[in-house]
């Protein structure tokens, strides 16, 4: 069973004017400027990402979709540059952009909550009759949800979807705390 998480976000205005129109086929100068903005890793860079990011309130039940980002080709260069600090050059940023092409990246951050925790209560209820004990939530729990962009009442087909489990501080006894989900689209399909 899928739950339509991605649809909700985009329907609340995430695809508003700050995102579109956006530039594709970035010039060498645009790539270089985006690279240097990412390397700054300061308030100016954080302000750049503000229109690309939405933080959502904690729901009454279910997982917490704490953050949704929609990154244009330019924003992806800034993000990569800010994350890869050592040994990453403007030339490497240009090569990475050319290899990736013009893509739109939907990033969703899911967090476990008191009502959707590390112990899979739904699974446990089904297994209770068989007395199999507690079941921990799977690392790939993010696959239980549907993500996407809907434009003019039509779903846009993604190039790829993948996710990464997020873990807390093991020394504090915390395990799975959430996941990051990445949905990639061909920029030509998103207008």
Mean pLDDT by 10 residues, the chain (191 residues): 45 42 84 96 94 95 95 95 90 95 95 89 53 78 92 91 90 84 94 77
The first and second tokens of residue 19, run together, are: 């995102």
Its pTM stands at 0.81
Mark 86-120 as b/e (b = at least 16 C-beta within 10 Å). Answer: eebebeebbebbeeeebbbbbbbbbebbeebeeeb
So what's the pLDDT on residue 71? 95
Environment class of 177 (CB within 10 Å of its CB; exposed 0-12, middle 13-18, buried 19+): middle
State the total domains in the chain: 1
Domain holding 129, by residue range, is 3-189
So what's the pLDDT on residue 55? 95
So what's the pLDDT on residue 127? 52
The dihedral of CA 12, 18, 24, 29: what is its sign?
negative
For the chain, how big is the Rg over CA atoms in Å? 19
Helix (H) or strand (E) holding 126: helix 121-128
Strand partners of residue 76: none
So what's the pLDDT on residue 117? 87
So what's the pLDDT on residue 191? 77
So what's the pLDDT on residue 122? 60
So what's the pLDDT on residue 16? 44
So what's the pLDDT on residue 45? 95
Strand partners of residue 150: 155
Closest residue by Cα to residue 20 from 136, 145, 151, 172: 151
So what's the pLDDT on residue 24? 77
Q: Is the peptide bond before 190 cis (omega within 30 degrees of 0)?
A: no
């Amino acid at each position: 069973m899928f739950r339509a998480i991605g649809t909700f976000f985009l329907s609340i205005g995430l695809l508003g004017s700050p995102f579109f129109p956006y530039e594709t086929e970035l010039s060498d100068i645009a790539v270089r400027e985006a690279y240097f903005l990412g390397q700054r890793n300061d308030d100016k860079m954080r302000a750049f990402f503000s229109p690309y990011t939405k933080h959502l309130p904690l729901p009454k039940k279910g997982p917490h979709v704490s953050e949704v980002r929609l990154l244009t080709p330019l924003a992806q260069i800034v993000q990569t540059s800010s994350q890869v600090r050592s040994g990453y050059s403007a030339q490497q940023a240009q090569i990475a952009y050319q290899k990736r092409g013009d893509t739109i990246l939907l990033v969703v951050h899911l967090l476990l909550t008191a009502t959707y925790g590390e112990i899979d209560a739904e699974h446990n209820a089904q297994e209770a009759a068989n007395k199999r004990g507690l079941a921990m939530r799977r690392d790939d729990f993010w696959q239980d949800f549907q993500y996407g962009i809907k434009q003019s009442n039509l779903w846009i087909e993604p190039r790829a979807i993948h996710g990464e489990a997020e873990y807390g501080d093991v020394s504090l006894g915390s395990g799975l705390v959430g996941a990051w989900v990445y949905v990639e689209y061909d920029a030509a399909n998103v207008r």
